């Protein structure tokens, strides 16, 4: 008799515990390591209703551009004898335009990821002149693909530097691809040429010591 009563009590306890989970399963997303993370939905124990949560995932990937990999428009691969030239400034490598009369662009390749949703181009710059407002950069893209007409440049918005100690400190210049540029690209299919050139107004150097892309990928 005692055993039967104990069994009945256990069944009642199990029955009362089940409804909180019976109305619907718990759903989980996994992080990039395959580990279960934040639930994308949850069951309300009081009502048994399952509520879906909104989840948005994006990732920013940095893509470095080696200075020696660029091509000088009208010349070919950059060297220590081209204009601009690749050399060393302040004991580190740099691409250098000697003055405002040197305006030939440097070009390099970018292959947008299929999930690409945004891109910014980042340049770490210095000069032999302190006043950054005398220095400026401009840029554009050329989009290539199968059966496309030979592309012309899709112009982008450049930037004037702002540092007042550009001969002693570095300035990070960020150039963001605009809506026209994004619309011209078929992510995952297009191959893109990026061109950057000197738009300065002084007779001092413009020096680029690092180039990297930040590509936002949305999933």
List Cα–Cα distances, 126 to 84, 101, 153, 161, 164, in angstroms: 14, 18, 27, 9, 11
Predicted local confidence at residue 2, as pLDDT? 56
- pLDDT (tens digit, 0 to 9) for every residue of the chain, 219 residues total? 555 665 666 666 555 554 444 444 444 444 444 444 445 566 667 776 766 555 558 899 999 999 999 999 999 999 999 999 999 999 999 999 999 999 999 999 999 999 999 999 999 999 999 999 999 999 999 999 999 999 999 999 999 999 999 999 999 999 999 999 999 999 999 999 999 999 999 999 999 999 999 999 999
Could you tell me which of 189, 179, 39, 55 has the C-alpha nearest to residue 117? 179
| Antiparallel, parallel or unpaired: β 106-110 and 191-198 | antiparallel
Number of Cα atoms under 13 Å in the Cβ half of residue 79? 5
Write out 39-104 in H/E/C secondary structure.
ECEEECCCCCCEEECCCCCEEEEEEECCHHHCEECCCEECCCCCCCEEEEECCEEEEEECCCCCCC
pTM over 0.85: no
Parallel/antiparallel/unpaired status of strands 136-144 and 171-176? unpaired
Residues of the chain with CATH 2.60.120.260: 59-218
- CA distance linking residue 42 with residue 50, whole number of Å: 5
CA distance 10 to 3: 11
Q: What is the pLDDT of residues 173-219, one digit of tens each?
A: 999 999 999 999 999 999 999 999 999 999 999 999 999 999 999 99
Alpha-carbon gap, residue 84 to 206, rounded angstroms: 9
For 152, the token pair is: 């012309």
Give the chain's length.
Answer: 219
Stretch (H or E) spanning 122: strand 116-126
What pLDDT, on the 0 to 100 scale, is given for residue 30? 40
Superfamily of domain 59-218: Galactose-binding domain-like (2.60.120.260)
Output the CA–CA distances (angstroms, integers) from residue 10 to 15, 23, 45, 190, in the order listed.
Answer: 9, 21, 20, 64
């Amino acid at each position: 008799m005692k055993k039967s009563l104990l069994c009945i009590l256990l069944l009642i306890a199990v029955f009362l515990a089940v409804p909180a989970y019976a109305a619907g399963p718990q759903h989980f997303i996994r992080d990039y390591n395959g580990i279960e993370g934040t639930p994308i939905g949850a069951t309300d124990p009081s009502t048994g209703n399952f509520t879906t949560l909104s989840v948005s995932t994006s990732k920013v990937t940095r893509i470095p551009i080696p200075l020696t990999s660029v091509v000088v428009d009208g010349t070919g691969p950059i060297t220590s004898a081209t204009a601009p030239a690749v050399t060393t400034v302040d004991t580190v490598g740099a691409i250098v335009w000697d003055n405002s009369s040197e305006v030939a662009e440097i070009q390099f390749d970018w292959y947008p990821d299929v999930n690409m949703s945004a891109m910014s181009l980042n340049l770490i710059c210095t000069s032999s002149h302190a006043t950054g407002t005398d220095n400026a950069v401009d840029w554009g893209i050329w989009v290539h693909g199968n059966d496309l007409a030979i592309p012309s440049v899709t112009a982008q918005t450049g930037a004037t530097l702002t540092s007042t100690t550009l001969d002693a400190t570095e300035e990070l210049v960020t150039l963001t691809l605009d809506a026209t540029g994004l619309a011209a690209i078929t992510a995952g299919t297009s191959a893109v040429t990026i061109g950057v050139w000197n738009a300065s107004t002084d007779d001092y150097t413009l020096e680029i010591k690092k180039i990297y892309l930040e590509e936002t990928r949305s999933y």
